[in-house]
A = this chain, B = another copy of it.
């Protein structure tokens, strides 16, 4: 019954996150991670070829976790305009919660993500594909009229940069933020809409 606790990449990632939380990004060392796991730091290098790859893996996990709820909305059914709005608001909320609940860890993960720019590109690509899916549904439903769903999706994603890109995390304090988001979403949805009769 008393299983031998084996060293797995999963356990190492967990220990790394603890070390990051405890010491912060700058002072977190592989030696610290090994100490938490009660092994020598050489053992960690048996599972990750370098400190950089360890950090990348942490970043990737973080991005994947952020992706899940959005994926779900994109795959659900219903009127596309409402779904798109919900998707965008959810994305904005996810970032909002992350940055307000634990600003230090957010900053940490953020830097890790910037280092793993390849993973970030893939993450963004996935997000744009989700938006493209919703817009494409909207075209089929007759609610949207766009030449190319993927192009439109990227435009929508770009247009909301200010409210989901981490570079603008200091805007969270702005009291007019909710009203501005409302105005922006309305503008975008109107731009996607099929022309209406007066």
- Residues on A facing B (Cβ under 8 Å): 151-152, 154-156, 158-163, 165, 167-168, 179-180, 183-184, 186-192, 195-198
State the CA gap A198–B195 with chains docked (Å): 7
On chain B, the residues within 8 Å of A152 by CB distance are: 183, 187
Q: What's the nearest-Cβ distance from chain B to residue A109, in Å? A: 18
Taking the closest CB of chain B, its distance from the CB of A198, in whole angstroms, is 6
When all copies of this chain in the complex are counted, the total is 2
- Given A195-B195, A195-B196: A159 and B180 interface contact (C-beta under 8 Å): no
Measured in the bound complex, the distance between the Cα atoms of B184 and A95 in whole Å is: 23
List of B residues within 8 angstroms of A188 by Cβ: 159, 187, 191
Once bound together, how far apart are the Cα atoms of A188 and B160, in whole Å?
A: 12
Question: For residue A159, which residue of chain B has the nearest CB?
Answer: B159
Known pairs A159-B187, A167-B168, A197-B198; list 7 more (Cβ under 8 Å): A152-B183, A155-B183, A158-B163, A158-B184, A159-B159, A159-B162, A159-B184
